[in-house]
Every structure is written in C-alpha cells, then in structure tokens.
Amino acid sequence: MVRKQVYITQSQENLLKRKAAEMGVTEAELIREALDSQMYTIGYPRRSAQKWQEEGQFIEERMAGKEHSAQRTWKREELYDR
C-alpha cells in the first residue's frame, strides 16, 4: 500500500470516525472502500476486474463441457458426514 495524506473537513472527520466505529473497521479501510466505490461509479474498473474476467472464462468453459483441470477428491455424500 501507498501512504497518502489528505485534508478533510471537521464534519467529514466526525462522520468518518462514527461510521468506522459503527462498522467495526478502521478509518483507512472505510476511506479505501469509499474511494473504490466512487471510482467504480465514475467508470473506473475495480481492482478485481481481471478476476471477474477469469471467472467468466471458467464459467464459459464449464458450460461448454470442458472439465476443470483439478479433479475432486471427495464425493457429495461425504459432505453430509461432516
């Protein structure tokens, strides 16, 4: 991560502290989430766009009948034994 210093208003500071406490996250995490959300809103892709593309390709391969390279080592019935 990269350290950034920004100036915010007193009302933003109060809201940030209150919301971070309510959500049980750090102020920095709340700021990062807000920044990601705003960037997405104005048209910038989120960091996970590549992962979504990979997931889409995986789904398409499964739908086409191609098997995933990793074979299961368990059976569905075994899940109920846990």
Q: How confident is the model at residue 32 (pLDDT cuts 50, 70, 90)?
A: very high
Q: Where are the chain's structural domains? A: 10-80
pLDDT value for 22? 97
To the question of pTM greater than 0.85 for the whole model, the response is no
pLDDT value for 7? 96
Tokens 């059976």 correspond to: 75
Beta-carbon contacts of residue 47 (< 8 Å; ≥ 6 apart): 36
Residue 56 exposure: Cα atoms within 13 Å on the Cβ side: 6
Distance between CA atoms of residues 34 and 1, nearest Å: 16
Per residue in 38-79, pLDDT tens?
888 887 666 677 788 888 888 888 888 766 666 778 888 888
**Two tokens, residue 49:** 């766009």
pLDDT value for 63? 87
